[in-house]
Structure formats: C-alpha cells, structure tokens
Structure 1
Amino acid sequence: MMKTINIYKKIGGVLFTGLIMLSSCSDYLTTLPTNSLVSDGAISTPEDTKTALNGAYAGLISARTDDVTYYYYGMDFLARAEVGGDDTQTNKIGDRTENYYRFTYRQNNAPQDLWYPPYAVINRVNVLLDAIDKGEVPMNDVVKNSKGEALAIRALAHFNLLITYGTPYLKDNGASLGVPVVKTVLTATDLPSRSTVAEGYQAVLDDLSDALGLISEEKNYGHFNRWGVKALLARVNLYKGDYDAAYSYAKDVVENGPYSLIDNADYLTVWGQEENNESIFDLALSSTSYSGDRELWGAVVSPSEYGAVVATKAFVDLLNEDPDDVRLGLLVADKNGTERTINKYPGRGSVTINNVRVLRLSDIYLIGAEAALKKASPDQDLADEYLYQIRHRANPNVTKIDATLDLIAKERRKELVLEGHRLYDVLRQGAEITRQGGSHFLNGNDLITVKWSDYRTVMPIPQAEIDANPNILQNPEYN
C-alpha cells in the first residue's frame, strides 16, 4: 500500500522550523528533516548558507520522511515525462513505471514523489532566504550568491510543480488552477490555496529575475550559476509562449556562455562521466550517498537491474532514418537482447550513479531554434544555424537545411530522449501523440492518445493533501 504524507502538517508542524542540524555534513546532505528542529541562529554564517543549499539540491533528487524515500529527479519526474510520451515505454506489465505509462493514477493512489519533495525543497530554501532577509547572516559575496542560488532552486521547484499539476499555460493563458505558490516559511495554521497557472509562472519569473542580479556566473558544478538561471528563463518563457524572451535568453547562453556542444567522437562516452562541456546545471549524485539505491532512474532503466524503460518501435525507427546518426550507438540490448535500451544512464561504478542533466546546452540550442521561428519577428537564419549544429554533431556529413517547427520537434525527440522532456513538449504545444503498435501493451481503459484536452495528462493532487487542506481543490474529473 502506498504511503501518503500530509505536506501541510509536515511543513507546518515540523519543516517550517527549518533545517535539521546533524552531526555530519554527509548526513545533512541526504536526510530530509522530519522530526528535529533547528535551534535559533542555525544559519548564521556564509558557510551555513552553502550547507543549506547543498541540502536543497539533494532534496531535488529525493526526499525522505518517516523512513520512506520519495524520488523526484531521482526517478519519478523523469519517468512520467518519458513513458508518458511516445519515444519510450514501460517494458512490461508490473514494471515500476507502469502507472505513469498507462496514466492510471487517480486521487486515491497518486504518488507523493512529484508533490512532496519539491515542496520540501521550497521549504528548505524559504528557511534560508528568511535568515538572509532578516539579517541573521552577515551579507557578503558568498551570501549574495547563496540567495541567488536559492531563488533559482525555488523557481525550478515551482515550475516543475506547475507543469505537473497545472494545465499547460497556452491552453487557457494560465487561467486555470496551478499549485500553491509558497514564498514564506509556513506555520502550522497556514493552509495555502492553489494560485492560477499564470500567477505561478509570474512567481517563477520573478524569482529568476531576482536571482540574475545576485548570482555569480562562475561555474560551480552541481549548482546554479547565472548561465543556469538564463537557461531556465529560456525554458520557462518557451512554455509560457513568450518566444521573444525565450529566444533572447537562449541566444545569450549559446553565444556568450562558457559551454560548448559535446564532440561527435565523444558523444557515446560522456553519459558515463560526471560532467561534460554541455553541463549547465546537473544534479550530482555521489557514490557515497546513492550507490546501490535500486530505485534511482539508472537502475530502473538498466537491463542489468529492472530494465523497466525501453525505446518504442516508433523511436527506434525515427533514429534509423539516418543510419550515420551517432545517437543510434546509444541503443543497447534490453533484457531480451533487443537493442532498445537507451544507454544514457550507464553509471559510474554503479548503474545507480548517474548525474541528472537538468539543463544542458543541446536543449538550449533547440529552445533557441524553436523560439526563433515563433517570435514576433522570426529569425530563420538563427533557427537554421542552431538546428544545423545539433544535426551536424549527430552526423558530420549533414548539410544545413531550412529549419521548421516539425524538424526542430523531431530533433528534440532524438536529442533529449530519456531526459524528462517528451510528455511536457507534447502538452505545452497542444500537440497530440498516439501510442499504439510495436510493443505497446496499452488497452482501451488506458490513455492511448495523449493530448492536453484529456484530464489524465495533469496529475491528480494526492488524497492526503485534499484531506489536510480544505483550500485545495482537486483537478477536474478526478475522484
């Protein structure tokens, strides 16, 4: 039976008091505070702000409470976006990602992994920001940068909640309900209601705008910097339909940032490395903290462990349109010997240890290309060039072609598969995909045709949250 948690009681009753002070830094980084309180002045030095940030970053991977671990970027956020699309699928009945694949979650069985960890992270960030804003930490460049990182993390968490539990912005210009926007440390009596999607997006953009004026542009692997904030601004504005802004931020990152596309010759090997030239913002999984955790995405995907996620026939056919595409080399044998496992998570010493690529340069090239065609005054030349750079890296023999939205969407599928984008790309554009044939095992009660008009493409809010907070309304049609 699935364990449920009341996020408001956890935040209001315990988490609102702040971050747990544990005896060792490594424990602090991986343990979610649930039943210990922070003493006054726990965040009082610049170094404390850095430690608090490390806890927030760790929470983006997974969160633990009452001896249960809830996975976020560690598994569930990626799984839903991937097997809910048309490029990957759950391998067989009974595998771990089956409910996301079949869209069978309802209010009474909705997982907490997409709801609880981001709010726990937001709470950690709010505790840190509260200490900084109250002057409990002497302001210097370190603290200023920590505040910028904290705002970026909060923006990312709120944005992901919005695209999970709210309808796509462009469906109704953000008029429908999104999620509670939490920018203060909650008390036990606080029962926030859902803001609109538009209000949520504005809160995200406000945080990112504020972060730009605070955060350093220096690389610090596993952390946001100014370039990471700009990359996230490009993504958020693309989803919002502000294509001029998305174009501007993407162009800035591509042309002025300290990143470069992976070379063709290195493409197949970089996935087993900690960092690469395209890493704008990765979540770093350490071997000491996560080795052997078989619920992480790498183990869920790997044929040597669960092998629960495989490429669809449609995607394999898509890659095979160009026999010289380097990305074909990512297809390796699944448990049955068929080359349909996408080997982006080979592990570093263990298949569980794979850093999560949250923002990488290839994505920003493709955001820039799409936004260039959709903005008020289209920039065909830039769209052509950015699309060419991704295609040329995949096959150095290709020539430049006229970019179209269909070609860019196809390239996003090829390039970003298994990284947590496909379902959201379909929904944000009001597109439609049908998942039939090949090895699909969906039946008439499952969601075969995925489109934003189907209520199942927006996750139900877990029952525990509905029970705990009378101000929370469930998404339409769930019961």
Structure 2
Amino acid sequence: MKRILYILIPGLLLVNTGCKKFLEEKSQDEMRPSTVQDLSGLMAGEAYPYFVNITSVLNMVTDDVNCVGGQGLPNYEAVVRRGKAPFSWSKHMFEELLTAEGVANLSTLNSWEIIYNRIVGCNVGLEYADKVTGSEKDKANLKAEVLALRAYYYFMLVNMYGKPYNTQGLDPEKSPGVPLKLKMVVTDELFKRNSVAEVYRQIEADIQASISLFQQYPQDKGVYKMSETAGYALLSRVYLYQEKWDLAIEYANKALAKKSVLTQLSTFNSTLYYTYNTTDNSLNVNRIYSPAISKEVIWTYVPNKSVEDDFLKSSLSPAYNRVNVPPYGISPELINLYDSKGFEANETYIGDLRPRIYFNYASYVGVTPPSTLTYFFRGITGGMGGAGIRVAELYLNRAEANIQKFIQTGNDALRTSALNDLNTLRLSRYDSRKPYVQVDITDGTQLLNFYKEERRRELPFDGHRWFDLRRYGMPSISHLYQETAGTAQTFTLSKGDNRYTWPIPQVVLDRNGELTQNP
C-alpha cells in the first residue's frame, strides 16, 4: 500500500471545497490500504498524535508560565515577542502567531487544524476497517483504538473552543461547541458548530463503543496504543468535567482495577536529584511518561518537542545558562507550591521530588567563601509533559469527586476516601529518606483547595491546567510581560473572561461561513 492518503486527507475538514476534485484525480487503488496491518500503520501516522504538538499554546496561557524577558539580548527579545499572543490572551491569537517573528508555519501551532486533521485520520480508520483484509479481532481492536482517539480529540477541541460544560448560568445544550465530523466522505458541506452538550455526548458514545470493542476483542498492544484502561480513564475525566461525581468515581475505579500502581519517584536514579537530568533522551519526554522506568503510564505519545522549541526557545544565543534563562519559564507561583527543600544539591532530605523530576533545570557551581563549592539549580523550561494518561490522574479524579460529594453531604467516609487517594499519591512522590507525613484536613473547603493545589503540583504542563482553571470558575489571573528592562506590561484575564474560550482561527472562519466566532 502506498501512503498517498497521508498527503491527501489532512485539511479535509478545514477546506471543504476543492478536496473532492483533488482526490478524484488520483488513483483510488493507490490510496486504499489493503490489509488491517496496512491500516494500522496508516493510523500510527494519521490518527495518533505522535510528533505533533497540541500543548505549547495550551501551556502558555496558564498561570504556570511567567515571562522572564529578553534580558537585553535581541534573540531573546524575539522569542518574547513570539509568545506574546497566547501569553496576553489575544483575541487574535492565531493571526498574531502567524505573523510573529520566527513562526514560519501556523499549522504547527493551530490546534484547530492539528486536531481536526487527526480526527480525519480516525474517520479514515473507521471507514476502512471493514474494507481491509484481516481477522475480525484485529479490525475490531483497531476500531476501538481510533474511537478512543477521536473522543480524546473532541474533548480537547470542545475545551479549547467551547465554554466550560459547567459554566454557571449557561445551558450546555445551547452553548456553541465545535463541529462534529464523523464520516470520512469528502463533501462540500459546510459544518456548523454542535453544542457543547452534543459534543460531550459524542465523546461519551465513542469511548463507550471503544470500551465495548476492547472487551470483546482484547489485545495488549502496550502503552503506545489506546486501550480499555485508557477508555475508562478518559471517561472519568469527561464525567469530572461535567460534575457527574458518581460516574467520575465509577470509571476511575474501573481504570484503577486494571492498573493502580504509582511510580515511586525515590526509586529513580539518585543522581536525578542532583543533576536534574530529567528527560528520557530516547523519547524526549518527562521520565514519568517513559515506559522503561515509569510503572504508571496508561497511554503515552511522543510530542513534537521541536515545534515547542521553535516556538519558544530556538535560535537563542548565547545558550541558556545561570545568567540568561529562557524568556518564558516556570512561574514562581507554581514552584512555591512544592515543599521541596531549596534547589541546592547534596541535601540529606529533599521532600517533594516532583519539581526536580518533572521540570528541566540548568545547574552551575558557585563558591561560598572561603572555599566551599555550592550547587545551584534554576528552572528553565516548563517541564516535558503533555504526553498521555497516567494512573496519578485517576487518584486525583476520584479524590476530587469524593471531596465534592463530602461537601454536599457531610459524609465523613467520603473525606477519608479522598484523603487516602491524596496521601497514596503523595507518598509515591516524596524522598524516601524520611517517613512521609500524612495530610489530614477536616474542613471540606480547605480540603478542596488543597486538592486543587495538589492537582496542579502533579500535572504541570500536561495540558490539564488551562482546562482546570476553566472548570474551577475561570478565576482572574495576570501575566507580567516584558521584552526589555523598563518595558513591562501586565495582561489580566478577568474572572469569567470570554478569552477563557479561544478564538477560532480566522483562516478557518474564512473557509466556512457557517461557523460563528466566539465572543
């Protein structure tokens, strides 16, 4: 089978006219996969998110990133300007990114186009699964994979471009979400936006159908492929966002029944505590997502770090060092949430190991008079997350749902269950050289606030924070922006701001007059 489909299909949803004629001019035999193995190989490139990036912009808009500034270096100042549009929550974010210095191709950052292209790939897989040769088990299992993937993508889209499902005073049945394109067929039809509730129902239907197929035709393809466990985890997340607490708990339980082990960070090579060599060079991702050393991975993919590098930190000279740190980095607010003991090496006890393993650091050696060498570490980039689904999220989802139910009912058993989940997670994250001290909070509101901070500590730069801010009431946050010294600006996102819902790229609106822009 020739992979001409890879060239022709992307953009189908975005350019609704012209593609049909273009496809008809090519030999259909060249485009059709003939076996389920061919189709599976095609899906690896067209449906799975390998080597694409959908989290760079998603991370830039959060309160986990701050702007250090250009530091008097022209190349650094250019990078600051490059990130200004998302960092300032511009209503013309994608148009400004397109013209930003050093951003040659908006399609590497335009999440609408990137994700819909993956959805097109999923629809191709579903269309061809019954047309290729191979066992029913292999074909059904492949369908299950792409159904779960399509649900994941629509979940991302509706939480970028639609209002939060739980927005107070807003009916999700009437609130504009994103268009649902569920067939591969090439058409001149211009798709309208389905409601947020409709999109969520489709997400749920896809995952349920996926789980059913996985159950009927089980295959263990490893953590680089979608699975029944991943489906349960996704449903737990979906129901959490809808504030359907019982269902969020039910599907977290189902996933944890399949896989509940957490990675003990203290078992990582101890040099990680001191050198901050925190990436798996073969994958270029946070080691917590590396199947070779992390036991809690449910599903993982390799994000295109070169895209993020090009967006935020390429062509910088001199290289990052103890003096000139990246223009955008980890916010002090996030760093200060961890109770780790400083950033000096060779301590007898560190505490919370997550900032040392989840973030990238630069180190240098200083001299403390009269002659003692001291090691210093400075966070330089916002982690290497955004690469899948982990068991840790399940403990958090279940804890949040139980806390919310405890606040509603006063049933102390729910509080105890939530604390058990939080302490189980935290125990796996702390330096084992001292006994972990259990958290015990009796007040529901205080416990919920602690939980929110714990979720932020555990899932930084995994693509969760922006969505969490949205469903937690869209609080006011501010970004201090500075290209050079003395040119600081403060950008503020007010509580409930419409900019918590991203603008649809103008290029998409120009191609489809049936779409309406977000306010």
| 2:338 corresponds to which of 319, 324, 337 | 319
Q: Which amino acid aligns with 1:97?
A: G
1:247-275 CA distance string (max 9 Å, x none): 11112222x12351111313557752432
* Structure 1 residue 51, shift from structure 2 partner: 1.2
Could you say which residue in structure 2 is the equivalent of 1:454? Answer: 497
Could you say which residue in structure 1 is the equivalent of 2:4? Answer: none
Conservation of the 8 A alpha-carbon contact between 2:330 and 2:380: yes
1:20-60 CA distance string (max 9 Å, x none): xxxxxxxxxxxxxxx97753772332212311221234545
* Structure 1 residue 127, shift from structure 2 partner: 1.5
Residue 189 of structure 1 aligns to a residue in which SS? coil
1:240, 1:50 → 2: CA distance? 33
1:13, 1:59 → 2: CA distance? 26
1:309, 1:217 → 2: CA distance? 43
Please identify, of 162-171 and 418-427, the stretch whose mean Cα deviation from structure 2 is larger.
418-427
Could you say which residue in structure 2 is the equivalent of 1:380? Answer: 415
- Cα 1:59/1:333, change in 2 over 3 Å: closer
2:28, 2:195 → 1: CA distance? 33
* Structure 1 residue 241, shift from structure 2 partner: 1.6
1:90, 1:435 → 2: CA distance? 11
Conservation of the 8 A alpha-carbon contact between 1:13 and 1:187: no
1:118, 1:461 → 2: CA distance? 13
- Cα 1:298/1:392, change in 2 over 3 Å: farther
Conservation of the 8 A alpha-carbon contact between 1:246 and 1:367: yes
1:16, 1:282 → 2: CA distance? 37
Residue 389 of structure 2 aligns to a residue in which SS? strand
* Structure 1 residue 94, shift from structure 2 partner: 3.8
Q: Which amino acid aligns with 1:443?
A: Q
Please identify, of 299-308 and 270-279, the stretch whose mean Cα deviation from structure 2 is larger.
299-308
Q: Is 1:435 aligned to residue 478 of structure 2?
A: yes
Residue 39 of structure 1 aligns to a residue in which SS? helix
- Cα 1:37/1:181, change in 2 over 3 Å: farther
The alignment covers a number of residue pairs equal to 424
What TM-score comes out, normalization by structure 1 length?
0.78
Q: Which amino acid aligns with 1:148?
A: A
Q: Which runs of 5+ in 1 are unaligned?
A: 19-34, 63-73, 346-354
1:369-396 CA distance string (max 9 Å, x none): 1012224766222211111112222235
Residue 166 of structure 2 aligns to a residue in which SS? helix
Conservation of the 8 A alpha-carbon contact between 2:56 and 2:308: no
Q: CA RMSD in A?
A: 3.5
* Structure 1 residue 417, shift from structure 2 partner: 0.9
Q: Is 1:56 aligned to residue 75 of structure 2?
A: no
| 1:426 corresponds to which of 469, 475, 486 | 469
- Cα 1:239/1:398, change in 2 over 3 Å: same
Could you say which residue in structure 2 is the equivalent of 1:71? Answer: none
* Structure 1 residue 296, shift from structure 2 partner: 3.6
Q: Aligned residues: percent identity?
A: 23
| 1:417 corresponds to which of 441, 446, 460 | 460
1:275-424 superposed matches below 5 A? 275=291, 276-284=294-302, 294-296=306-308, 300=312, 307-320=326-339, 324-330=351-357, 333=361, 339-341=378-380, 344-345=383-384, 356-375=386-405, 379-395=414-430, 396-402=435-441, 404-424=447-467
* Structure 1 residue 116, shift from structure 2 partner: 0.7
1:6, 1:380 → 2: CA distance? 48
1:335, 1:357 → 2: CA distance? 25
Could you say which residue in structure 1 is the equivalent of 2:121? Answer: 124
Could you say which residue in structure 2 is the equivalent of 1:257? Answer: 258
Structure whose CA Rg is larger: 2
- Cα 1:308/1:15, change in 2 over 3 Å: farther
* Structure 1 residue 190, shift from structure 2 partner: 1.6
Q: Is 1:81 aligned to residue 125 of structure 2?
A: no
- Cα 1:259/1:450, change in 2 over 3 Å: farther
Q: Which amino acid aligns with 2:19?
A: V
Q: Which amino acid aligns with 1:184?
A: K
Could you say which residue in structure 1 is the equivalent of 2:143? Answer: 147
* Structure 1 residue 130, shift from structure 2 partner: 1.3
1:98-138 CA distance string (max 9 Å, x none): 322111241744755211111111111111211235x4545
Q: Which amino acid aligns with 1:394?
A: R
Conservation of the 8 A alpha-carbon contact between 1:88 and 1:418: no
Could you say which residue in structure 2 is the equivalent of 1:218? Answer: 220
Report runs of 4+ in structure 1 exceeding 6 Å deviation.
Answer: 15-18, 335-338, 437-442
- Cα 1:456/1:442, change in 2 over 3 Å: farther
Residue 261 of structure 2 aligns to a residue in which SS? coil
Conservation of the 8 A alpha-carbon contact between 1:17 and 1:37: no
- Cα 1:41/1:439, change in 2 over 3 Å: closer
Could you say which residue in structure 2 is the equivalent of 1:188? Answer: 187
1:232-251 superposed matches below 5 A? 232-251=234-253
2:151, 2:157 → 1: CA distance? 10
* Structure 1 residue 6, shift from structure 2 partner: 6.9
- Cα 1:248/1:270, change in 2 over 3 Å: farther
Q: Which amino acid aligns with 1:475?
A: N
